[in-house]
Amino acid sequence: MKQETGKKRIIIAIDGPAASGKSTTARRVAERLGYTYIDTGAMYRSVTLKALQQGVLDGLRHSPESVSSLLQNLSIRFDGDRVFLDGSDVTAMIRENRVSREVSFISSLKPVRDRLREMQQELGRQRGVVMDGRDIGTVVFPDAELKIFLVADARERAKRRYAELIAKSPEGEDLPDLDLLEEEIKRRDKDDAEREHAPLKKHPEAYEIDTSDLTIERQVDMVCNLALEKGVAGR
Ligand code: CDP
């Protein structure tokens, strides 16, 4: 992307628990600032999908070191809103609940984190990116000029995820009920926060925003205003 004269290009790191509004906020902030949006959760989801497709998940639970074969020839590419895993468009598949259920396990494995962190650092090398995930401000880009930590009430997050699943699932497909979804979200947050490598936690310099009662517009405004304070010119 061509850099506009005088426009400061920084890294905006947006971390937080599941369904706290990170990806919607990050995507819109990137649009407003003319930055590139990078969804690191989609990368962990892609590796999880690959493990499911290869039928190696159970084996990995018993011998996690065999994960290296999963990472061989791994290619993850973004094209606008689409995500490509080893050349195939997996944008819809990586959002399925079967992937959500297993992604915390796959993302707890150190070789997976090491590989994806390298890819993410390369993607952000030229700066001018909004990157969302769990460890962007703490591990991937600890020097990010603007760090945001989004949180929201667990019930509210389950409702958002439920609405998303309803909107995306084909008619007639079974949906988990709201209570179950809330339980799964809480379990994933716990697993993400308690894992050994790059756990989910707020960087001391991060601005915490509770999105439980905020509209998307308001969230986006808040992050963009903070970016302006850091010297980023608006469009
Ligand atoms: O969209 P949602 O908040 O449900 O999750 P996501 O951002 O798509 O991330 C899915 C999972 O990937 C998380 O629950 C983490 O286990 C893992 N993840 C991670 O470990 N580190 C990141 N930087 C991003 C995601």
d(CA 144, CA 18): 21
Q: How many CB atoms lie within 10 A of CB 168?
A: 11
For residue 97, the model assigns a pLDDT of: 86
CB 82 within 8 A of CB 92: no
The alpha carbon of 142 is separated from its chain's Cα centroid by a whole number of angstroms, namely 16
For residue 6, the model assigns a pLDDT of: 53
Expressed in angstroms and rounded, the spacing between residue 38 Cα and the centre of ligand 1 is 12
Segment 170-197 shows an average pLDDT of 89
Expressed in angstroms and rounded, the spacing between residue 133 Cα and the centre of ligand 1 is 6
For residue 8, the model assigns a pLDDT of: 85
Expressed in angstroms and rounded, the spacing between residue 230 Cα and the centre of ligand 1 is 27
pLDDT at residue 5 tops 50: no
129 lines ligand 1 (CB under 6 A): no
Domains of the chain (ranges; CATH) run: 11-225 (3.40.50.300)
- Confidence bin at 175 (pLDDT 50/70/90): confident
Mean pLDDT of the chain: 93
Q: Give pLDDT tens digits for 99-138.
A: 999 999 999 999 999 999 999 999 999 999 999 999 999 9
CB 213 within 8 A of CB 219: no
CB 168 within 8 A of CB 95: yes
d(CA 21, CA 89): 24
Predicted structure pTM score: 0.92
For residue 30, the model assigns a pLDDT of: 97
The residue nearest atom 12 of ligand 1, judged by CA position, is: 41
The pair of three-digit structure tokens given for residue 134, joined into one six-digit string: 């769990």
Q: Give pLDDT tens digits for 15-66.
A: 999 999 999 999 999 999 999 999 999 999 999 999 999 999 999 999 998 8
Q: Comparing 24-28, 80-84, 194-198, 230-234, which segment has the lowest mean pLDDT?
A: 230-234
Q: Is the dihedral of CA 166, 170, 172, 177 positive or negative?
A: negative
* % of the chain at pLDDT higher than 70: 95
Dihedral (C-alpha) 139, 141, 142, 145: value to the nearest 10 degrees? -160
pLDDT at residue 96 tops 80: yes
45 lines ligand 1 (CB under 6 A): yes
- Confidence bin at 234 (pLDDT 50/70/90): low
CB 140 within 8 A of CB 117: yes
Dihedral (C-alpha) 7, 143, 13, 75: value to the nearest 10 degrees? 100
Strands 82-85 and 88-89, by their bridges, are antiparallel
Segment 227-231 shows an average pLDDT of 93
Q: How many CB atoms lie within 10 A of CB 117?
A: 19
Exposure b/e, 89-115, CB count within 10 A at least 16 = b: ebbebbbbbebbebbbbbbbbeebbeb
pLDDT at residue 3 tops 60: no
pLDDT at residue 235 tops 80: no
The residue nearest atom 14 of ligand 1, judged by CA position, is: 104
Expressed in angstroms and rounded, the spacing between residue 187 Cα and the centre of ligand 1 is 13
* Cα end-to-end distance, the chain, whole Å: 15
